[in-house]
Amino acid sequence: MKAKLDALKHQLMISNDLESAAALLFWDQSTYMPPGGATARARQSALLSRMAHETFVDPQVGKLLDELRPYEESLPYDSDDASLIRVARREYERKTQVPADLVAETTSHFYALHGIWAEARPKNDFAAVQPHLEKTLELSKRWAECFPDHDHIADPLISTWDYGMKAESIRQIFSELREALVPLVQAIRNKADIDDSCLEGYFPEALQQDFGLRVIKDFGYDFERGRQDKTAHPYMIKFSLGDVRITTRFNEARLSDALFSTLHESGHAMYEQGINPAYEGTPLAGGTSAGVHESQSRLWENIVGRSRGFWEHYYPILRDTFPEQLQGVDVESFYRAINKVKPSLIRVEADEVTYNLHVMIRFDLELQMLEGKLAIRDLPEAWNARYTSDLGVTPSSNQNGCMQDVHWFDSFIGGAFQGYTLGNIMSAQFYEAALEAHPSLPEDIRYGQFDTLRGWLTEHIYQHGSKYTAPELIERVTGKPLMIAPYIRYLQQKYGELYSL
Ligand code: ZN
């Protein structure tokens, strides 16, 4: 059995290394590659991705997984070996269920559409993407139909990103959350606007970068195993557990953009850096779901990075960094500015309270499109109607409407958006559990000390990688299933105080 397990690990490691090489090509393309490299790079990336896929779905892997079943069943569920075999089998079954032709067709469709979208979006040209988006919908349905055992056509897509979740359970959670959010947004609307003009001005990039790096170093992001570079859209990317990088973009006219994206991506990265090194190169060596991943980025960005205690420590340092720009702005004004709530059109710029309403709109529209109840040609109108009714703002164009996110233009319709809100919900549930174990956390944060929090997250979440599914992890860590109550408590307490509700 030992030899069979080693053979399995060996094959998985090859697939993993090919995928990491493809990831490195992507990173290079988005950071330093000259434009002339684009054509060859597309070919090289496709080759490596295909080789990684073929190595993983090799019948030899299936045979080894079958032969290892008795060994797996002889071990405790949470042993490393049993978990490795279980998670590898899940991945193998998922990847082998989709015919290779369909994989190739979707890959080339999304590659082409991403370029078409990037060109059409600034021109506000929905007509240019409409037929391609219709193709995306058709491919999404065909892909989902490869998994006939589902209650809702979106389920196979959802479980790819958030294994263990289904359309129906998410619909339920979202509708409960919505019931709490809508009155909160309404109550805040009736209050006077917060003045956030202190965030506008001229903030030199190098100084912004120094400050951001200082904070995430304090958080515990390990620069011996990571680095930060500039890209058009910030992201975290891993090549191995010893090389987990983040990217950001700087807006010299607005202080908060790069700062909070840096904190956000460092949360994703610390999760990956905290995984048990013994899992390197196996399917266990990654965050377990989109939702849990997002819970870690949001926890550091919002629960820590937008808290009053955090800024009691860091604001004097920030003001020393930008003495002229922040002249006359006290810590309380700054704290209020970075937490201003205002319904807006763009999801990625939304505040903590309205953010989830953006996600719910997308999730509902995805389900309607997959169910055949909403045609692509009617999408702009449906989108705008939902923004008007849910957020009270109406997009002036498709550019700041249904063409704003890359998601439906470089991946399927369905599966990707729910993770953002699930992450917000989980972040509060995890933080409450951490706080119960360590009531001193708010004091630590006030002193710029994060070892206790990061240590707790590493022990209970990070180190396990993908060993547990998201529902299993939440149950293990908090003793309860996923619950919205902690998140609602967090929002009501914070914003109730901020807006004197
Ligand atoms: Zn994120």
Q: What is the pLDDT of residues 1-54, one digit of tens each?
A: 899 999 999 999 999 999 999 999 999 999 999 999 988 998 898 899 889 999
pLDDT in tens, 320-364: 999 999 999 999 999 999 999 999 999 999 999 999 999 999 999
DSSP string, 78-128: TSHHHHHHHHHHHHHHHHHHS-HHHHHHHHHHHHHHHHHHHHHTTTT-HHH
Same domain membership, residue 110 and residue 228:
no
Band (pLDDT 50/70/90 cuts) for residue 96 is: very high
For residue 445, the cross-strand partners are none
Tell me if 157 is assigned to some domain: no
Q: What percent of the chain has pLDDT over 90?
A: 94
In terms of domains, do 322 and 183 share one?
yes
In a domain, 182, yes or no: yes
82: three-class secondary structure by DSSP:
helix
Please tell me the distance between residue 297's alpha carbon and the centre of ligand 1 in angstroms.
6
Q: Would strands 236-240 and 228-230 be described as parallel, antiparallel, or unpaired?
A: unpaired
Residue 244 in 3-state DSSP?
Answer: strand
- Of 150, 183, 214, which closes a domain? 150
**Centre of ligand 1 from the C-alpha of residue 290, in Å:** 8
Angle, alpha carbons 360-366-367 (nearest 5°): 95
Quote the number of domains for the chain.
2
Residue 6 lies in a domain: yes
Alpha carbon distance 221, 304 (integer Å): 15
- Answer yes or no: is 175 within a domain: yes
Q: 462 with 270: CB under 8 angstroms? A: yes
**Tens digit of each residue's pLDDT (9 = 90 or more) over 390-419:** 999 999 999 999 999 999 999 999 998 999
Catalytic residue from among 19, 265, 352, 366: 265
Domain boundary among 123, 150, 177: 150
Q: Compare 223 and 349 and report the one with higher pLDDT.
A: 223
Please report, rounded to a whole number, the percentage of residues in the chain having pLDDT higher than 70.
Answer: 100
Helix, strand, coil shares of the chain, percent, nearest 5, are 70, 5, 30
Q: How far apart are CA 278 and CA 259, in angstroms?
A: 33
Instruction: Kindly give the distance from the C-alpha atom of residue 5 to the centroid of ligand 1, in angstroms, as a whole number.
Output: 34
Cα(89)–Cα(419) distance, rounded to whole angstroms? 23
In a domain, 431, yes or no: yes
**Phi/psi at 230 (5° precision):** -100, 135
User: For residue 411, how far is the Cα from the chain centroid?
Assistant: 14
289 and 197 together in one domain: yes
Residues 346, 273 share a domain: yes
Residue 303 CA to residue 450 CA, distance in Å, equals: 13
- Concatenating the DSSP letter of every residue in 323-368 gives TTTTTT--HHHHHHHHT-----S-GGG--HHHHHHHHHHHHHHHHH
pLDDT at 234: 94
**196 and 109 part of one domain:** no
**Shared-domain flag, residues 403 and 370:** yes
State the distance from the centre of ligand 1 to the C-alpha of 295, rounded, in angstroms.
8
Q: What is the CATH number of the domain that holds 397?
A: 1.10.1370.30
| Residue type (1 letter), 36 | G
Boundary residue ending a domain (150, 179, 194): 150
Per the structure, the complete domain to which residue 31 belongs is given by: 2-150
Q: Where is 436: in which H helix or E strand?
A: helix 418-437
pLDDT at 42: 86
Q: How confident is the model at residue 152 (pLDDT cuts 50, 70, 90)?
A: very high
Site of tokens 């919205």: 484
Which pTM value belongs to this model?
Answer: 0.96
Model pLDDT for residues 247-287, shown as the tens digit of each residue:
999 999 999 999 999 999 999 999 999 999 999 999 999 99
Mark whether 103 and 172 lie in a shared domain: no
Based on the domain organization, do 337 and 362 belong to the same domain?
yes
- Structural domain includes residue 265: yes
Within-domain flag for 161:
no
Sort 193 into a burial class: Cβ within 10 Å, 0-12 / 13-18 / 19+: exposed
| 132 and 221 inside one domain | no
Please tell me whether residues 43 and 127 are part of one structural domain: yes
Query: Does 137 map to a domain?
Result: yes
Does the active-site annotation cover 332?
A: no
How many Å lie between the centroid of ligand 1 and the Cα of residue 248?
12
Centre of ligand 1 to C-alpha 27, Å, is 17
Domain co-membership, 34 together with 114: yes
Please tell me the distance from the alpha carbon of residue 405 to that of residue 343, in angstroms, as a whole number. 17
Contact partners, residue 17, CB within 8 Å, separation at least 6: 281
Quote the CA–CA distance of 137 and 372 in Å, as a whole number. Answer: 10
Q: Same structural domain for residues 387 and 360?
A: yes
Rounded distance between C-alpha atoms, residue 114 and residue 137, angstroms = 15
- Residue 90 CA to ligand 1 centre (angstroms): 24
CA of 245 relative to ligand 1 center, distance in Å: 13
Size of the chain in residues: 501
Q: How far is the CA of 236 from the centre of ligand 1 (A)?
A: 8
